[in-house]
Amino acid sequence: MKYFTKQWYDEMQVSGYLAYHETLEEWQEELAYYIEEGIDYEEANRNNLEDMREDLLKFLPEPFHPYIYDGTIGHGFPPQELRELAKKWELEHEARLEALSDDYSRHYESIKGELPSGAVQLMEQSLHDAEVLSVEKSEGTLAIKLDMSGGFHYFTDILVTFTGVTEAELPDDFAGASWLYNEIYLADGGFDLRVLFDGPMVEVKIKAQDVNIEVLE
């Protein structure tokens, strides 16, 4: 994938981690919720920071690092200097995301007229948050059954069948994976589809001549 890569996704998770409360009152309300639910906030914060530490150090510039090492970065209402650092980084991150999205949109519009109608449907009726139920491969064909009940379109099971398949890179044990983001390119008289999945986090590549989406009752 060129645009919506695992690294791009991981950096978005860092952005979400830096979503601090705007006011002390909001922070106190969250603390009250933790207490009411019997959750140890300090322990939850430590565990979350440990899970995020590698990516925080990878994506955030040096001025953030002392706050990562001492744990301050995971506080729900951190010092003002950290909040200002985070706000500045967020604005720069949002600008990068917007530029990347615009770049991909221009790419897609430039090839849309040459894509088969099924590929256009796949791209424009988002499969985000679809859950993989099963995958079946045969000579030149790849069929992926998806649960769209938690998605943005269809809201039922669908069967996405790729035909004229010349390349399919995806795990053998794929049931339960979630469809996150996709991008598409022209290739060999057909298309080259790239999809980022979670659970496992993997970039899938499918080269095919056509694709059909069937809504399953």
pLDDT of residue 92 exceeding 90, the answer is yes
Polymer length of the chain: 217
Six-digit token pair at 146? 């998806």
Using omega within 30 degrees of 0 as the cis cutoff, is the peptide bond preceding 200 cis?
yes
Alpha-carbon span 87 to 19, nearest angstrom? 9
Model pTM above 0.85:
yes
Please give the full DSSP string across 32-88, using - where no structure is assigned: HHHHHHT--HHHHHHHHHHHHHHHHHHHS-GGGHHHHHTSGGG-SS--HHHHHHHHH
Q: What percent of the chain has pLDDT over 70?
A: 100
Alpha-carbon span 8 to 6, nearest angstrom? 5
pLDDT of residue 217 exceeding 80, the answer is no
**Contact of 141 with 165, CB cutoff 8 Å:** yes
Please give the full DSSP string across 169-210, using - where no structure is assigned: E--SS-TT-EEEEEEEEEETTEEEEEEEEETTTEEEEEEESE
Query: Is residue 208 classed exposed, middle or buried when 0-12, 13-18 and 19+ CB atoms within 10 A define those classes?
Result: buried
From 4-13, 21-30, 177-186, the region with the lowest mean pLDDT: 21-30
Query: Binning pLDDT at 50, 70 and 90, where does residue 15 land?
Result: very high
pLDDT tens across 41-54, in order?
889 889 999 999 99
**Contact of 43 with 51, CB cutoff 8 Å:** no
Q: What is residue 91's predicted lDDT score, i.e. its pLDDT?
A: 97
**Contact of 183 with 209, CB cutoff 8 Å:** no
Amino acid identity, position 16: G
Q: Helices in 60-183 by DSSP H: which ranges? A: 65-69, 80-111, 117-124
Q: What is residue 201's predicted lDDT score, i.e. its pLDDT?
A: 92
